């Protein structure tokens, strides 16, 4: 019995002195994810723009800012005049959209798209404020400068992460409404109003949710306003964004109709995306946009339209605003003398002149009262 007790004690002592095996522990994986590959926007790039002032002006502005930051002036090229290459900075809606498509119509107010697809950088917006915001975002992302007015030459590389994409929302609240025919739009710059009658200071812009019209050469705007307004219409011509201006007088339920500027050349336009109205006289106005419609009208085949009573022949040049460009005396018996007017350029024609909207016409010279 005593031997048994001694054996048990020995076994217990041996077990108590056995080395302790530590519990299995998990070592944290301190490996960091690999940084994204960077694409350098360097001197090998060129700036691609398209027809229309918006694209060209934005391309020129970006070129100037890039030069200010790097000391390098990038080449500017029109999209239809150069073959595509991988290293391009594409401004606006161009034929480079075949490689990467941006929803340009969705970029209203100061919204913008800044997208790196492969090595090609796309920058698009609907106007100056949007492009300014896009350029500010580019330089903030590449070299950390938030205010583009503070740009100075830097030794930092202008780089973006591979696959970088930034598509912003408008920074301003847009009112939503519809025209009489049910065309939905959003309004930027309205300060108040009801029943689609908006008051504004300096300017107001209507962005159409769905672009208006296709294959048209004339447009009509039905409106009510308490002030003189300068209008700006944005549309597509040959797939490129174009703008042109028109002018409206005050009135209730006024219908304004105009051909777009290439209509007399037999061309048509598509997709009205926006209408902007600016105050001409004073600082504020109220406006009701009742409707906008488009049409395709039959155009004259000749640039000059003539009328005659057998004694005189009169002609007006349609592409020069309807100015009188031809006057012939048919009764003078001299067939060698035809046009009595100088029609060398637009300033030589017989035409109406407009000197503003004040009740007293503007006098362009001291002898204006005579």
Helix (H, G, I), strand (E, B) or coil at 204: strand
Residue 51 sits in the same domain as residue 117? yes
pLDDT band at 6 (very low <50, low <70, confident <90, very high): low
**Per-residue pLDDT reduced to its tens digit, 142-185:** 999 888 888 899 999 999 999 999 999 887 666 778 888 889 88
Q: Which long-range contacts (CB under 8 A, 24 or more apart) does 68-71 make?
A: 68/151, 68/152, 68/153, 69/139, 69/143, 69/145, 69/151, 69/152, 69/153, 69/154, 69/158, 70/43, 70/153, 70/154, 70/158, 71/153
Residue 62 sits in the same domain as residue 158? yes
Residue 314 sits in the same domain as residue 217? no
Could you tell me if residue 81 is inside a domain?
A: yes
Q: Is the pLDDT of residue 10 over 70?
A: no
Could you tell me if residue 237 is inside a domain?
A: yes
**Per-residue pLDDT reduced to its tens digit, 22-71:** 555 555 556 667 777 999 999 999 999 987 667 888 999 999 999 999 99
- From 121, 142, 167, the end of a domain falls on 167
Residue 114 sits in the same domain as residue 235? no
Residue 269 sits in the same domain as residue 333? no
Residue with tokens 């691609």: 48
Note down the domain range covering 64. 38-167
Q: Is the pLDDT of residue 1 over 70?
A: no
Q: Is the pLDDT of residue 11 over 70?
A: no
**Per-residue pLDDT reduced to its tens digit, 248-295:** 999 999 999 999 988 988 899 998 999 999 999 888 999 999 999 999
Could you tell me if residue 312 is inside a domain?
A: yes
Residue 218 sits in the same domain as residue 332? no
pLDDT band at 369 (very low <50, low <70, confident <90, very high): very low
- From 167, 200, 232, the end of a domain falls on 167
Could you tell me if residue 225 is inside a domain?
A: yes
Could you tell me if residue 188 is inside a domain?
A: yes
Q: Is the pLDDT of residue 370 over 50?
A: no
- From 167, 201, 230, the end of a domain falls on 167
Task: Supply the mean pLDDT for the chain.
Answer: 84
Residue 203 sits in the same domain as residue 251? yes
Could you tell me if residue 147 is inside a domain?
A: yes
- Environment class of residue 280 by beta-carbon count within 10 Å: exposed (0-12), middle (13-18) or buried (19+)? middle
Cα distances (angstroms) measured from residue 297 to each of 234, 257, 264, 267: 20, 12, 10, 11
What pLDDT is recorded for position 359? 57
What are the φ and ψ backbone dihedral angles of 320, each rounded to 5 degrees?
-115, 40
Helix (H, G, I), strand (E, B) or coil at 41: coil
Q: Which long-range contacts (CB under 8 A, 24 or more apart) does 148-153 make?
A: 148/65, 151/65, 151/68, 151/69, 152/68, 152/69, 153/68, 153/69, 153/70, 153/71
**Per-residue pLDDT reduced to its tens digit, 97-118:** 888 888 887 787 788 999 999 9
Q: How many CB atoms lie within 10 A of CB 47?
A: 21
What pLDDT is recorded for position 366? 43
What are the φ and ψ backbone dihedral angles of 86, each rounded to 5 degrees?
-70, -35
Residue 148 sits in the same domain as residue 265? no
What are the φ and ψ backbone dihedral angles of 99, each rounded to 5 degrees?
-90, -35
What is the average per-residue pLDDT within 342-363? 70
Residue 126 sits in the same domain as residue 212? no
User: How many distinct structural domains can be found in the chain?
Assistant: 3
Residue with tokens 């938030």: 146
Q: Is the separation of the CB atoms in 96 and 86 below 8 Å? A: no
What pLDDT is recorded for position 195? 62
What pLDDT is recorded for position 289? 92
User: Any idea what DSSP says for residue 310?
Assistant: S
Percentage of the chain beyond pLDDT 70 is: 84
Beta bridge partners of 307: 314
Residue 282 sits in the same domain as residue 318? no
Could you tell me if residue 344 is inside a domain?
A: yes
The number of CA neighbours under 13 Å toward the Cβ of 130 is: 26
What pLDDT is recorded for position 110? 84
CATH of the domain at 223: 2.60.120
Residue 312 sits in the same domain as residue 281? no
What pLDDT is recorded for position 28? 53
Residue 186 sits in the same domain as residue 157? no
Q: How many CB atoms lie within 10 A of CB 135?
A: 22
What pLDDT is recorded for position 256? 96
What are the φ and ψ backbone dihedral angles of 162, each rounded to 5 degrees?
-55, 130
**Per-residue pLDDT reduced to its tens digit, 119-132:** 999 999 877 888 99
Could you tell me if residue 223 is inside a domain?
A: yes
CATH of the domain at 161: 3.30.379.10
Q: Looking at per-residue confidence, does 367 or 312 come out higher?
A: 312
Helix (H, G, I), strand (E, B) or coil at 236: strand
Round to whole Å and give the CA distance between 52 and 46: 19
Q: Is the separation of the CB atoms in 153 and 68 below 8 Å? A: yes
What pLDDT is recorded for position 176? 77
Q: Is the pLDDT of residue 90 over 90?
A: yes
């Amino acid at each position: 019995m005593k031997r048994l007790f001694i054996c048990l004690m020995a076994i217990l002592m041996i077990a108590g002195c056995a080395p302790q095996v530590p519990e299995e522990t998990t070592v944290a994986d301190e490996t960091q994810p690999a940084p994204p590959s960077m694409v350098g926007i360097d001197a090998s790039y060129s700036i691609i723009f398209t027809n229309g002032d918006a694209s060209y002006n934005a391309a020129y502005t970006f070129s100037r800012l890039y030069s200010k930051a790097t000391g390098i002036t990038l080449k500017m090229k029109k999209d239809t005049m150069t073959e595509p290459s991988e290293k391009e900075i594409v401004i606006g809606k161009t034929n480079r959209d075949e490689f990467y498509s941006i929803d340009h119509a969705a970029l209203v107010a100061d919204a913008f798209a800044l997208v790196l697809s492969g090595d090609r950088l796309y920058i698009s917006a609907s106007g100056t404020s949007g492009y300014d915001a896009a350029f500010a975002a580019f330089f903030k992302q590449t070299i950390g400068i938030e205010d583009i007015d503070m740009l100075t030459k830097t030794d930092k590389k202008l780089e973006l992460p591979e696959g970088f994409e930034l598509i912003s929302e408008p920074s301003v609240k847009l009112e939503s409404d519809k025209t009489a025919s049910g065309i939905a739009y959003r309004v930027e710059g309205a300060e108040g109003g009801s029943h689609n009658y908006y008051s504004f200071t300096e300017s107001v812009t209507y962005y159409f949710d769905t672009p208006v019209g296709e294959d048209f050469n004339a447009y009509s705007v039905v409106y009510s306003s308490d002030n003189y307004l300068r209008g700006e219409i944005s549309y597509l011509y040959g797939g490129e964004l174009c703008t042109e201006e028109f002018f409206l007088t005050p009135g209730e339920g006024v219908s304004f109709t105009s051909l777009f500027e290439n209509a007399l050349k037999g061309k048509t336009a598509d997709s009205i995306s926006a209408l902007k109205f600016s105050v001409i006289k004073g600082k504020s106005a109220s406006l009701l946009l009742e409707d906008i419609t488009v049409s395709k009208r039959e155009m004259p085949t000749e640039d000059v339209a003539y009328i005659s009573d057998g004694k005189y022949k009169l002609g007006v040049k349609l592409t020069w605003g309807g100015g009188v460009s031809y006057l012939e005396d048919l009764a003078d018996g001299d067939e060698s003398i035809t046009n009595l007017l100088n029609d060398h350029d637009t300033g030589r024609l017989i035409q109406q002149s407009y000197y503003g909207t004040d009740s007293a016409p503007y006098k362009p010279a001291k002898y204006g009262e005579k």
